[in-house]
Amino acid sequence: MGNDESLLSQNAVQSSRQQGDEFFMPAEWEPHEGCVMSFCAAKGMFPEWQADEIRFEQARIAHAIAEFEPVFMLANDEDGEEARQLCGPRVDVVKMQHYDMWTRDTLPTICFDRSNRSTAICWNFNVWGEKLEGYEADRDLACRFAAWRSLPTIKADIVAEGGAFDVDGEGTLLTTQSCLQNPNRNANLSTGEIEHALRRLTGARKVVWLPGAVAGITDGHVDGMARFVRSGVVVADISDDPLDPEYEGLLENAKALRVATDCSGRALEVIFVKRPRWDLIDVRSDDFAASYVNSYFANNAVVMPKYGDPIRDNEAREVFARLMPDRKVVQVSVHEISEGGGGVHCVTQQIPKSRVQSPGVAASAL
């Protein structure tokens, strides 16, 4: 248990206002040291049967990613044995207290400083605008995870989540007004102040604001609507189904993307992928996250969702296979995770490959 979080001293947490260094966030398709997930423990949020099915779906995602890069599954003390049994020997189960599965939002974004040292950027997770109870263990998870990895930690001067922005690794960042300009996160900050924080902490030279969407618990995370697949190229969700709660929001996002430019002034190339048809999804609420772009770009692979609409599932798969031909496309069913409001990208967080020699931290099994 040498890497038990309780045996690690907390790193000094510094405000980005006090730091002169700027940071750089690599694109997700750049090399990873691994992927981090958290074994769902939110049984107060979900019925027991649904929580159990979510864990099965998490294990399927972990298995798919583990074919291409190491996977670390955070688990509470009481869940370690079940996590090991479901995930198998290829996934490292790590003891770390938490509540829910959304590591994209609860863990830090690992960026590089000017000396290319990995640094954990913690975004002050406030449960998506203080919407839900029971998330106390997730509020400081980012800093505890950074301590486990022995990473220096910077606390952002804004409230955000990892799913709220996406970067191309060359200076352009996508985000949404409905999320980061929402009073439930950054009520006292101007758009310029929010942009300043994003630029300094990710290396962005241009922030592209999309309108976003009002449906869903995240207030319109961009990783459920539009993603970079390479510099200058964006894949965006679109819906032709008025039953989709984000139908109107996606149309407005499409208008904004068609006139958007990157940090070099080039018009973005935008490829639209149609969401699944809602009448073909057996059971779903308005929080159901039916987004194909909510995929994880693992080393040499794209791990993406499927929803039981054979035509749309296949069309989406072909889009990613065409745009990322050097990667194997793997689809997994994530119905209950989607019913919880997220997808493959929401339950994963990459550890970018280090750019400097360091001893590193190996995971210890429970």
Quickly state the pLDDT bin for 256 (edges 50, 70, 90): very high
Task: Find, among 346, 280, 364, the residue nearest to 61 by Cα.
Answer: 346
Instruction: Parse the chain into domains and list their residue ranges.
Output: 22-352
Q: What percent of the chain has pLDDT over 70?
A: 91
pLDDT: is 150 or 13 the higher one? 150
Burial of 275 (0-12, 13-18, 19+ CB in 10 A): buried
Quickly state the pLDDT bin for 357 (edges 50, 70, 90): low
The pLDDT of residue 244 is above 90? no
65 vs 34, 130, 147, 237, 285, CA distance in Å? Answer: 9, 31, 24, 23, 28
pLDDT mean over 23-52: 95
Instruction: Compute the distance between CA of residue 32 and CA of residue 195 in angstroms, rounded to an integer.
Output: 27
Quickly state the pLDDT bin for 358 (edges 50, 70, 90): low
Non-local CB neighbours of 332 within 8 Å, separated by 6+ positions: 57, 60, 61, 64, 303, 304, 305, 306, 344
CB-based contact 50:336 (threshold 8 Å) = yes
Instruction: Compute the distance between CA of residue 34 and CA of residue 36 in angstroms, rounded to an integer.
Output: 7
pLDDT: is 356 or 251 the higher one? 251
Write the pLDDT tens digit of every residue in 299-337: 999 999 999 999 999 999 999 999 999 999 999 999 999
The pLDDT of residue 184 is above 70? yes
Amino acid letter at 74?
L
* Mean predicted lDDT score pLDDT of the chain: 91
Report, at the CATH architecture level, how domain 22-352 is classified: 5-stranded Propeller (3.75)
pLDDT at 285: 75
- Told to judge if 122 belongs to the known catalytic residues of this protein, a careful annotator would answer no
Quickly state the pLDDT bin for 355 (edges 50, 70, 90): confident
Write the pLDDT tens digit of every residue in 121-156: 999 999 999 999 999 999 999 999 999 999 999 999
